Structure 1
Amino acid sequence: MPEEVSSSNICLKVPACDTETFNWGYEEWPAFRDMFTAIYINHPKLSHAQKLCHLRYKTEGKAGAIVEQHPLSDDNFELAWEALRAKYENKRILVDNQIKALLSLPNVQIENSEQIQRQ
């Protein structure tokens, strides 16, 4: 069900938010960023203050604390969004996390043709 947002006596229908609430995980940031951008940032009729309101609603924990540092106003949406990007688009941390994930995968046993023939 679409969410209604009103500003200056204008009522807008915003698509239902399919984004998960973002807490702090570097691994979840790209999916959250892309979905939030598609639903809210690219919405042509939302004010920056409305976008910041949605960003506050969709973040919690460490990420929510970053957003909460910015008072609800048109001027502060870009500041809050850039603060999240600065924190979670750290390429070194993202690459390190991917390497850790790859190294923690279980070993795979490979059967060669000789082993298969003996069975």
Structure 2
Amino acid sequence: NHSHTNFPSPSSNNNNNSISVKLPTINLPTFNGKYEEWMSFFDTFSALIDCNDNLSEVQKLHYLKASLKGDAAKTLDNLELISSNYPIAISLLKDQFQNRRLIVQNHVKALFNISQIQKDSPAHLKQLINSFSTHIRALKGL
């Protein structure tokens, strides 16, 4: 899931004589409150926005709110768009969604809920393997 808010990628330019390469625009990630997607969302958001010293706290909070959907967005519903609320917003989201036990529980639940292969074909088998691999890798990364 990606929002329509774009964050420009830096151009590659190692020295004045090199050719500048225009990298594609990176879309901000979105987060809807699924525990198993929190780590991926927050790592990406941190790299693009949180660690960007060129953005003000108000801009960071705006990007954060624009990236949240559903239950995650409701977590910040009552926060005004002012600079002092950005660290509060990050803290609220971490308190709510950076719960290791719930993240593990949701990945394990997803493993047990992977549907059976409906048709014997390489494509369906590959889809099953990809589903398992995604959750196993996420669990190993915790």
**Same-fold call, TM > 0.5?**
yes
Equivalence map 1:1-119=2 (5 Å): 2=7, 16-105=25-114
Contact 2:61 2:85 in 1 (8 A): yes
**Residue range with higher mean Cα deviation, 97-106 or 63-72:** 97-106
How far is 1:16 from its partner?
Answer: 4.1
1:10-56 deviation line (CA, Å, top 9, x unaligned): xxxxx944233211111111111011000000101111111001011
Aligned residues: 97
1:44, 1:72 → 2: CA distance?
A: 18
Change (3 A) 1:62 1:104: closer
Structure label with greater radius of gyration: 1
Contact 1:55 1:67 in 2 (8 A): no
Change (3 A) 1:101 1:60: closer
- TM-score normalised per structure 1: 0.70
Letter aligned with residue 45 of structure 2: F
Alignment RMSD (CA, Å): 2.4
2:31, 2:7 → 1: CA distance?
A: 20
Change (3 A) 1:79 1:2: closer
For 2:125, the equivalent position in structure 1 comes to: none
Stretches of structure 2 that go unaligned for 5 or more consecutive residues are: 1-5, 9-23, 117-142
